[in-house]
Amino acid sequence: MKFKEIPNTSIQDILTAYFGEATENFLFVIVIGANNGEIQDFLSGYLLNKNTKGILIEPIEYLFNQLKDRFKNNENLMFENSAIYERNCRKNMYRVNKSAKLPDWITGIASFNKKMIGMHQADIGDPAKAVVKENVNCITFSQLLKKYKIDRINILQIDTEGYDYDIIFSINFKQIRPDIIIFEYLHLTYYQCFALINLLEENDYKVNRNKNSFDIIAIDNQIL
């Protein structure tokens, strides 16, 4: 494994150029960890485009219901109430029990790892009181592709509070190659972060770090 710095870039500028130059009739996106659709992320401004199709994935039930309601009039979007995991099963996920005293972005924190939630103790207070457990449905990435008959992904965006590593390592790049992969590295270990960089570069992706957040973008060199 090699350790090295990766260059900074603007993910939003790259997406602006990508959507602006797209020649396909439809761009297909997958958002893993879509939350309720209210929290702004890199793809938020493009989900209502007429030429954007995709799947929004959210395992937490009440957030999933809000997500579906927010985009209920958009026939181009599909919704999956599951977590992406290493096998098809049900598994406990930990999340913050939102209260009026907590900031809105707190709803975006959910993880299989309870300790990951505890890292935000300064924002949520006593984790023992703020963290609740929810049993969620889990599906593998490959099963997701089969279920929705997906054979092309233009953009894959992942925000799973540290499980991004496992999801990307589960992708069979010989089977499917997203043009662009965006993921958060804030909750990854140094080993996981650089292992992911190496994996993506070995699969012919150009890797850059967003200059204003803890996010990485990988672009298929074949489209550059």
pLDDT confidence tier of residue 100, bands split at 50, 70 and 90: very low
CA atoms within 13 A on the CB side of 184: 17
Could you report the per-residue pLDDT of 82-96, keeping only the tens digit for each?
999 999 999 999 888
The whole-angstrom separation of Cα 224 and Cα 221 is 5
In this prediction, residue 78 carries a pLDDT of 98
Q: What is the CATH number of the domain that holds 175?
A: 3.40.50.150
What proportion of the chain, given as a percentage, has pLDDT over 70?
Answer: 87
In a domain, 100, yes or no: no
Residue 52 is part of which domain span?
A: 8-87+141-223
In a domain, 114, yes or no: no
The whole-angstrom separation of Cα 20 and Cα 51 is 11
pLDDT of residue 137 exceeding 50: yes
In a domain, 205, yes or no: yes
Give yes or no for a contact between 173 and 153, defined as CB atoms under 8 angstroms apart. Answer: no
Give yes or no for a contact between 97 and 74, defined as CB atoms under 8 angstroms apart. Answer: no
In a domain, 182, yes or no: yes
In a domain, 23, yes or no: yes
Give yes or no for a contact between 19 and 221, defined as CB atoms under 8 angstroms apart. Answer: no
Could you report the per-residue pLDDT of 25-82, keeping only the tens digit for each?
899 999 999 999 988 899 999 999 999 999 999 999 999 999 999 999 999 999 999 9
In this prediction, residue 111 carries a pLDDT of 83
In this prediction, residue 102 carries a pLDDT of 63
pLDDT of residue 129 exceeding 80: no
In this prediction, residue 132 carries a pLDDT of 83
In a domain, 174, yes or no: yes
In a domain, 108, yes or no: no
pLDDT of residue 191 exceeding 90: yes
In this prediction, residue 145 carries a pLDDT of 98
What's the number of domains the chain is made of?
1
The whole-angstrom separation of Cα 96 and Cα 124 is 8
pLDDT of residue 123 exceeding 60: no
Could you report the per-residue pLDDT of 170-189, keeping only the tens digit for each?
999 999 999 999 999 988 99
Give yes or no for a contact between 210 and 41, defined as CB atoms under 8 angstroms apart. Answer: no
The structure's pTM equals 0.91
pLDDT of residue 149 exceeding 90: yes
Better-predicted residue by pLDDT, 29 or 100: 29
In this prediction, residue 1 carries a pLDDT of 40
What is the average per-residue pLDDT within 96-110? Answer: 67
In a domain, 52, yes or no: yes
